[in-house]
Amino acid sequence: MSFDRDLFLPVSREDMARRGWDCYDFLLITGDAYVDHPSFGAAIIGRLLEEAGYRVAVLAQPDWRSAQAFAALGRPRLGVLIGAGNIDSMVAHYTAAKKRRHDDAYSPGRRAGLRPEHATVVYSNRVREAFSDIPVIIGGLEASLRRFAHYDYWEDKVRRCILFDSQADILTYGMGESATLEIAARLASGTPVEEITDVRGTCVIGKHPGVCAYPWVEAPSFEEVSASKEAYARANMVEYLEHDAVSGRAVIQKHGNRFLIVNPPAFPLTTAELDRVAELPYVREPHPMYDEMGGVPAIEEVRFSVTHNRGCFGACNFCSLAFHQGRTISCRSHDSVVREVKALTEHPGFKGYIHDVGGPSATFRRPSCQKQLKAGMCKNRACLAPESCPNLDADHTDYMMLLRKLRAIPKVKKVFIRSGIRFDYLMKDPSGEFFTDLVQHHISGQLKVAPEHCVAHTLDYMGKPHIEVYEKFREKYFKLNRRYGKDQYLVPYLISSHPGCTLADAVRLAEWLNKQGHMPEQVQDFYPTPGTLATCMWYTGIDPRTMESVFVPKSPHDKALQRALMQWRKPQNRKLVLEALRKTGREDLIGYGKHCLVKPDRGEQPLSAARRADSSPRGGVKSAKKSRADTRTRVEKKDSPPIRKKGWAKPKKKK
């Protein structure tokens, strides 16, 4: 379906002419296709500036090979705002194995290659060529996570803060609404951009630390962190500890003879402010210029979804959310969410299903505890791992009541939750009423949760709770499914090759999965993205929280062994699984028993006849096959819905 292009922000001189504009205020450049939806950062910033009275034009995925495309809309009056898109441009280009991706969901027709590598830097340099001394402000996820000297996985080196390479004037980090509006107001008042140095949630470059307007702490310099992995780890921890709007100080990091000044984070938006941002006049669709190119696939996941919160105090070490949105929760009002869902029911493509009511973690609608509102988040202490804090407030009532209101809206058949149920948080809720509602009303065939691993010390490096919490959750989940006559899957997300995970740990994970009767269809290799604590561990071999050494599986072969163990039944993984079991002295898992992962090579005997007899009641290949099939059938009946996956036995019908 196509929408009137005049409902969108202008993308051409013709669009501006139809509005009667002879000039405009801000050029907004994005590495994604232009999708006017609140799940896309460029749309939020553009609509917010528009509401504030500024004229904004959008330049989406410009040809970066020359400056010509960047000058196509003419010189803006106040400045240029640049973002690489919803994800880091290098992640958009490459898999965790550094293989080139063949498609891009954020581009028309999934076409890959429409944005450059290190897009923020490239776009900013082209703008400098096109407009010389115009104010340039960079933001979005890529700039946010690269705001300090950082390790770049794809180049395997430490890069400077992105401000230096981009030649931009100001970097906004985090979600950026407050900072952007303040910068825009100062530019409109005639303040030179070089004097805008004290906005919270921004970074600037100064000739000396005296430019900083806040109490500050110094992190090891770019030169130090480039030369010393210990210094890199210390810097990484300083950056994390100060990322708090209540207690955080500014952080200064020297780069050569200049100083990077990272002002304290912006305060999270209030409920009223978040409502305002969510209810700006978005079209909620890709621009019609993409219709003939196949549309923009990324809209399909969010078109009929609602974001009701921001922030995450889960603080998983491999996740960038804590370093971008922060650990403090802000959420929208019930009335605002209800209005949005009612509007969605009038969309011509709506079929009665709200696909998600979520955010970084769907169930977070309140502070982790009352203390954080006054003192900020605890330093060197996570709310949920390795054990939940005694002060944790895990009441799900507010979220449950919101969902009940949405279910009652006319034309709404189902309201699903797909974005991040924290099972550990759910298990701390003393009521259990929301868990019942979840199973009865909000699961679309399967619930995805993220235990990530099963070995305690690996989970500690991840910042995740120990596996016993997941196992208790799993037991209760299936108990409730049986009680209410539901046949619904539980799909665990898992990560291979995370820092701290040895090959022996990977074998233990395969054992655990085998006992669960589950082999993942997809496996996520650990991906060292900029800025996270886990990436620091991967690069330095040091846990920055303790400054102690940590094992890191780095070589492609080591990573392949761990990945293969998580999908041990696949024939193409057989040799790798056998190698891993032999390397770790776990030949007891080579055989025919139900506990075994693979059969021995032809002509080879299992580890011992006695052990084979213990694991296979009747002995022999045929009986072992029957034993495994019976086991899968039993697990299937207990834990899974009627939909059968390849390789799983089908339960026999009762006579």
Q: What is the pLDDT of residue 650?
A: 43
DSSP state of 588: G
Among residues 458, 450, 319, the alpha carbon closest in space to that of 386 is found at 458
Q: What is the pLDDT of residue 610?
A: 42
Bridge partners of residue 358, in order along the sequence: 307
> In this predicted model, what pLDDT tens digit does every residue of 113-166 receive, in sequence order?
999 999 999 999 999 999 999 999 999 999 999 999 999 999 999 999 999 999
Q: What is the pLDDT of residue 1?
A: 59
Q: For residues 563-572, give the mean pLDDT.
A: 94
Percent of the chain residues past pLDDT 90, beyond the cut: 82
Q: Is the peptide bond before 386 cis (omega within 30 degrees of 0)?
A: yes
467: enclosing H helix or E strand: helix 467-483
> Do 499 and 233 touch, CB atoms closer than 8 A?
no
Largest CA distance in the chain: 87
Query: Read out DSSP for 132-190?
Result: TT--EEEEHHHHHHTSSSEEETTTTEEEPPHHHHHT-SEEE-TT-HHHHHHHHHHHHTT
Q: Which amino acid is at 552?
A: V
Among residues 493, 504, 420, the alpha carbon closest in space to that of 452 is found at 493
Lowest mean pLDDT of 327-336, 345-354, 381-390, 471-480, name the range.
381-390
Q: What is the pLDDT of residue 352?
A: 97
Q: Does residue 415 sit in helix, strand or coil? A: strand
Q: Which residue has the tokens 């909000």?
A: 442
Six token digits for residue 122: 């490239």
Q: Which residue has the tokens 């790798």?
A: 576
> In this predicted model, what pLDDT tens digit does every residue of 394-429 receive, in sequence order?
999 999 999 999 999 999 999 999 877 899 999 999
Q: What is the pLDDT of residue 637?
A: 36
Six token digits for residue 242: 């100060």
> How many CB atoms lie under 10 A from the CB of residue 53?
9
Mean of all residue pLDDT scores within the chain = 91
Res. 640 pLDDT band, cuts 50 70 90: very low
Res. 642 pLDDT band, cuts 50 70 90: very low
Q: What is the pLDDT of residue 641?
A: 44
Cα–chain center distance at 514: 28
Among residues 52, 350, 325, the alpha carbon closest in space to that of 185 is found at 52
Q: Name the burial class of residue 249, with classes exposed (0-12), middle (13-18) and buried (19+) by CB atoms within 10 angstroms of its CB.
A: middle
- Architecture of the domain delimited by 304-444: 2-Layer Sandwich (3.30)
Residue 295 confidence (pLDDT) above 60:
yes
> Do 285 and 36 touch, CB atoms closer than 8 A?
yes
Residue 25 confidence (pLDDT) above 90:
yes
> Do 369 and 376 touch, CB atoms closer than 8 A?
no
CA 364 – CA 17 distance, rounded (Å): 45
Six token digits for residue 28: 């907004």
CA 322 – CA 330 distance, rounded (Å): 13
Residue 64 confidence (pLDDT) above 80:
yes
As a CATH number, domain 5-199 is: 3.40.50.280
| 448 Rama sector, left if φ>0, alpha if ψ -120 to 50, beta otherwise | beta
Q: What is the pLDDT of residue 648?
A: 38
Six token digits for residue 478: 């299936």
Residue 586 confidence (pLDDT) above 90:
yes
Q: Which amino acid is at 426?
A: L
Q: Per this entry, what is the length of the chain? A: 655
Query: Read out DSSP for 87-100?
Result: S-HHHHHB-TT-PB
CA 587 – CA 578 distance, rounded (Å): 8
Res. 603 pLDDT band, cuts 50 70 90: low
Q: Can you list the alpha helix ranges (DSSP code H) found in 200-330?
A: 222-227, 229-241, 271-278, 299-302, 321-324
CA 142 – CA 173 distance, rounded (Å): 9
Q: Which amino acid is at 132?
A: S
Q: Which amino acid is at 10?
A: P
CA 619 – CA 608 distance, rounded (Å): 12
How far apart, in Å, do the first and last CA atoms of the chain sit?
51
Bridge partners of residue 206, in order along the sequence: 259
> Do 402 and 359 touch, CB atoms closer than 8 A?
no
Radius of gyration in angstroms for the set of CA atoms belonging to the chain, rounded to a whole number: 26
How do beta strands 353-354 and 414-415 pair?
parallel
> Do 124 and 166 touch, CB atoms closer than 8 A?
yes
Residue 629 confidence (pLDDT) above 60:
no
CA 227 – CA 242 distance, rounded (Å): 23
CA 376 – CA 422 distance, rounded (Å): 22
Using CA atoms, how far residue 174 sits from 145, 169, 290, 347, in Å, is 9, 17, 29, 31
Q: When comparing pLDDT for 222 and 651, which is higher? A: 222
Six token digits for residue 462: 């991840």
> Do 269 and 275 touch, CB atoms closer than 8 A?
no
Q: What is the pLDDT of residue 371?
A: 85
Q: When comparing pLDDT for 407 and 621, which is higher? A: 407
> In this predicted model, what pLDDT tens digit does every residue of 78-109 receive, in sequence order?
999 999 999 999 999 999 999 999 999 999 99
Res. 2 pLDDT band, cuts 50 70 90: low
Cα–chain center distance at 495: 14
Six token digits for residue 21: 């504009």
Domain ranges of the chain: 5-199, 304-444, 461-585, 590-628
> In this predicted model, what pLDDT tens digit does every residue of 492-517 receive, in sequence order?
999 999 999 999 999 999 999 999 88
CA 468 – CA 470 distance, rounded (Å): 5
Residue 225 confidence (pLDDT) above 50:
yes
